[in-house]
Structure 1
Amino acid sequence: MRFLLYNICYATHGNQRRLPLLGMLGRTRDHFEEITKFIRPLDPDVIGLIEVDNGSYRARQKSQVEKMAEDLGHFHCYCSKYGAESRWQRIPIYNKQGNAFLAKDEILGEKFHYFERGMKKLIIELELEKFTIFLVHLALSYKARQEQILHLYHLVKKTKRPYILAGDFNAFMGEAEIQLLMSASGLQNADTEMQPSYPSHRPKKYLDFILHSPEIKVNKFWMPDVRLSDHLPLVLDFEVEPVDKPT
């Protein structure tokens, strides 16, 4: 199977090149279509999208998730990355910002969990036939991020199936920030070479991660050199090894 993780920055990266501070508010124009064209030949079985627009003015009031799912013929699920009672839900543009999954195969179940701390609170749990994927976008604040990582540990340790934990961890200190999470949960980093993913034009920071349980066998991991977002995409080819059932 192939999993693609991509922080697409609401498909406004073309505007950010001209207006670094205000580019995120610019219209996506045809930039989103460029991202879809990049993804199509990769033919991923599952896509985790971070920073996707669900229908603000910059996306012409159309959901980027629904448009991509229609173009690729995938199932999809989406949720705002802010808590249901968050003040950000009352602010235009912000209330259309979220994360999403797209999948070739039918989605068997989806759950939306929320961190207690941080501006971005969403955790999406996606259940597919043989495994589960968690998608996150962690806080910029170090203290909030550490509390979120502890929350993740308690969440994933309940999982009885093979699973992947992926997303933009905003881990400015790199893998060291999540080492305790990995050690305590048995998670492994799919990127054994520890390649930086941000910024895409000259990667220096290790912000994006695909972590996995031991039952996920990695066949190949790479980061395509594309500049369609400020983050590089992460691609994982893998197999799910059978889990021994207790007798």
Structure 2
Amino acid sequence: MRLLLYNIRYGTGHQNGYHLPLPFSGFFKNSTANFRRILNFIGSMNPDIVALVEVDTGSYRTGHLCQGQTIADTLGYNLVVEPKYKNNSFARKVPVLKQQGNAILTKQSVEHYHFHYFEEGMKKLVIQTDLKAVALFIVHLSLKYRHRQNQLEQLHALVKETDKEIIIAGDFNTFWGSRELNLFLAATDLHNANLGNAPSHPSHAPRRQIDFILHSSGIRIDNFYIPDVRLSDHSPLICDFSCMLTEPNGSLT
């Protein structure tokens, strides 16, 4: 199976197109043209699962269309999408912010999904989506180190409650380096699919490893790479994997 992880920055672009005529002005512009390029890229990769961070769920930037739903309708996926702020938070009352979310798209049937929320940080959402053989968790961790550590502690508890093989994918904002995850990986017995610790941010000159695909021991990584794609400030991650679960006929799922 192929998993594509991508922080698409709401389709608002990167570098010159994002910072002209004023710094960060791209955040407020119509995102239709660049999002269409992102959609075409996703289609060209033909992933079985798409984990998207920073999805616009229907603000004026998209013509009030949910980017996740557009991908699902165009490319034929099942969609789980949700704004990343809690219902009672200030952000859910602010235009544009209240339409900012994360999403999972999959060609497999979704057995169950659940929205968990961290206790600390502004971006609190954890999307758990259970497929036949694997539980997927999509996260976007806090910009603050202390909050990230508390979020990882709560994520550890969610992992321990899961009896399926596990994949956690998302933007971890590990600005202190991948060593931030060492205790979490040791406690959960998860592994980083990016064995070479290749950076993915910023996409025009990657130097930080802040996007991660973590997996349990029963998942075999067949291929992992980071395409040179500059449609967001993050590069996408591509991971081909197999679940080492034996079916009655002896085959692997």
TM-score by structure 1 length?
Answer: 0.96
Deviations 1:29-65 (A, max 9, x none): 3111100111112110000000000110011111111
Match of residue 3 from structure 1: 3
Q: Select the residue among 26, 44, 69 that pairs with 1:23.
A: 26
1:59 aligns to 2:62 (yes or no): yes
Q: How does 1:166-205 map to 2 (within 5 A)?
A: 166-205=169-208
Q: Letter of the aligned partner of 2:6 in structure 1?
A: Y
Helix, strand or coil at the partner of 2:126: strand
Contact 1:173 1:206 in 2 (8 A): no
| Counterpart amino acid of residue 229 in structure 1 | S
Distance 2:178 2:230 in 1: 23
Aligned to 1:142: 145
2:251 is aligned to none
Matched, 1:212 2:215: yes
- Unaligned runs of 5+ residues in structure 1 are none
Match of 2:231 in 1: 228
Structure 2: gaps (5+ residues): 248-253
Q: How many matched pairs?
A: 244
**Pick aligned residue for 1:157 from 160, 169, 176:** 160
Q: Using structure 2 for the length normalisation, give the TM-score.
A: 0.94
Distance 1:140 1:43 in 2: 31
SS in 1 for 2:18: helix
Aligned with 2:77 (options 68, 74, 77): 74
Alignment-derived partner of residue 110 in structure 1: 113
Supply the distance in 2 between the matched residues of 1:186 and 1:25 (Cα, whole angstroms).
41
Give the Cα separation in 1 of the matches to 2:238 and 2:231: 15
- The one-letter code matched in structure 1 to 2:18 is Q
Q: Which amino acid aligns with 1:45?
A: D
Question: CA contact under 8 A between 2:7 and 2:234: conserved in structure 1?
Answer: yes
Deviations along 1:122-172, one digit per CA (max 9) or x if unpaired, are: 000011111110000000011111110111111111111101011000001
**Identity of paired residues, percent?**
43
Is residue 200–residue 207 contact of structure 2 (8 Å, CA) maintained in 1? yes
After TM superposition, give the deviation of residue 17 of structure 1 in Å.
Answer: 4.4
Tell me, what secondary structure is at the counterpart of 2:120?
coil
Separation in structure 1 between the aligned mates of residue 204 and residue 19 of structure 2, nearest angstrom: 11
Following TM superposition, the consecutive aligned residue runs of length 4 or more in structure 1 with deviations greater than 3 angstroms are none
Letter in 2 for 1:194: N
C-alpha contact (below 8 Å) 1:200/1:227 kept by paired residues: yes
Cα offset, 1:224, TM superposition: 0.5
| Distance (Å, rounded) in 2 between the aligned partners of 1:106 and 1:31 | 29
Deviation at 1:243, TM superposition (A): 7.0
The answer as to whether partners of 2:82 and 2:103 remain within 8 angstroms in 1 is: yes
Verify the 8 A CA contact 1:56 1:96 in the aligned structure 2.
yes
1:22, CA displacement in angstroms? Answer: 2.4
| Letter in structure 1 aligned against 2:166 | Y
